[in-house]
Amino acid sequence: MIDVQSSPPGQSIYTERRAASRPAVPLLSIVVPVFNEAEVLDIFLEETEAALTGLHLSVEYVFIDDGSTDATARIISRHLAAGLPGRLIGLSRNFGKEAALSAGLEHAHGDIVAILDADLQDPPGLIPQMVSLWRSGFDVIYGLRVDRSQETLAKRGTAHLFYKVFDRLTQISMPANAGDFRLIDRSVVDALKRLPERSRFMKGLFAWVGYPSTYIAYERPLRRAGQGKWNYWRLWNFALDGLTSFSTVPLRIWLYGGGTVAALAIAYAVFLILRVLIYGIDVPGYASLMVSVLFFSGLQLLSIGIVGEYVGRLFIETKQRPVFLVQDVIDYAAAKDEPALPTDRSAE
């Protein structure tokens, strides 16, 4: 696991080879999942456009409307009609951010893909620095949150615990305090598209695919406008999802737990038999009986619950339902049969 103190990984033979073959004027796809973000969209576009001017690349926006019920889609469509390069992918309902991101990667054409939240918590101002790291050969450049002091103690504590448990239970090393905010190369996008699973814990999937990675440390600002969509219950389920999609250790624990309990039970049985043989039959202890019955039935329910969690996951996966459904794609450039490639930003 990468900690904040250590410096980012350096160059290798792989990054040097990649750097030599990067296209001079790449197409950058800005993938933005949006769910009821009408309040913040105008300012998001203003800041992102400002951050991108002067860069030697082409840009396309890929907005994924994750079932918004406010003016989100209308606002985006208005910007696209006014010449903003890119498209709006309208999902058929709210599928959640993870599914929306998968839809975004599916519909992005870029040589590089930047994943941003619409609420400006992922500063677009970092994109130029990420692009230059990409040019120097890294395939994944993620944002690392160094200062979470604006979040509540409880949120920071539970986040810390989650990363610790995740690190212990899985073989992949997922950087702590990295969100979905990142810039990834086309090869990583293609790798992600090859992962067929339905439960898409993106942070884990990003870590699983690997590729030369580095990070930019930043202070995560507060949401600029509108409402956050996560509550504790959703976060808890998200954490469970992440753990059970990447680790079978919770299942294996019962092998050892069960083994230990069985060994103790045998020892206790031997003790009881010997006691009966030596002292004769005693009045049985109601309390110890009750305690052990309750304790072990609780343990059994817990283990069945954990097994159930994985069976549920198998159930979801075997149904093979698509991760998301698209109800509409708004793409003015494609409608006019024009090439989707916008102009070189450096000319602006």
Q: Where along the sequence are the contacts to ligand UDP (CB under 6 A)?
A: 33-35, 37, 66, 94, 96-97, 100, 117-119, 121, 223, 228-230
C-alpha 177/C-alpha 344 separation (Å) is 34
Kindly state whether residue 119 participates in binding Mg ion, applying the rule CB under 5 A: yes
- Contact of residue 230 among ligand UDP, Mg ion, none (CB under 5-8 Å per partner type): ligand UDP
Q: Which does 200 bind (CB under 5 to 8 A by kind): Mg ion, ligand UDP, none?
A: none
Q: Output 60 or 117, the one with its CB closest to ligand UDP.
A: 117
Among 29, 58, 72, 121, binds Mg ion (CB under 5 A): 121
CB of 118 to ligand UDP, least distance (A): 4
The one of Mg ion, ligand UDP, none whose footprint includes residue 139, by CB under 5 to 8 A per kind, is none
SS3 24: coil
96 interacts with, out of ligand UDP, Mg ion, none, CB within 5 to 8 A per kind: ligand UDP
Which is nearer to Mg ion, 35 or 138 (by Cβ)? 35
345 binds, among ligand UDP, Mg ion, none (CB under 5 to 8 A by kind): none
Identify what 38 binds: Mg ion, ligand UDP, none; CB under 5 to 8 Å per kind: none
Nearest to 130 by CA among 146, 113, 106: 113
Per the listing, tokens 């690190």 go with: 167
CB of 96 to ligand UDP, least distance (A): 5
Q: Which two tokens stand for residue 40?
A: 């913040």
In the complex, what is the shortest distance from the CB of residue 228 to ligand UDP, in angstroms, rounded to a whole number? 4
3-state per-residue secondary structure call for 99-124: HHHHHHHHHCCCCEEEECCCCCCCCH
Q: How far is the CB of 134 from Mg ion (least distance, A)?
A: 24
Q: In angstroms, rounded to a whole number, what is the distance separating the alpha carbons of residues 157 and 288?
A: 38
Is the Cβ–Cβ distance between 105 and 113 less than 8 Å?
Answer: yes
DSSP secondary structure string, 261-322? HHHHHHHHHHHHHHHHHHH-PPPP-HHHHHHHHHHHHHHHHHHHHHHHHHHHHHHHHHHT--
Among 148, 223, 224, 313, binds Mg ion (CB under 5 A): 223
CA atoms within 13 A on the CB side of 191: 15
**From CA 136, how far away is CA 19, in angstroms rounded?**
5
Residues 49-78 that bind Mg ion (CB under 5 A): none
Residues at the contact surface with Mg ion, assessed by CB under 5 A: 117, 119, 121, 223
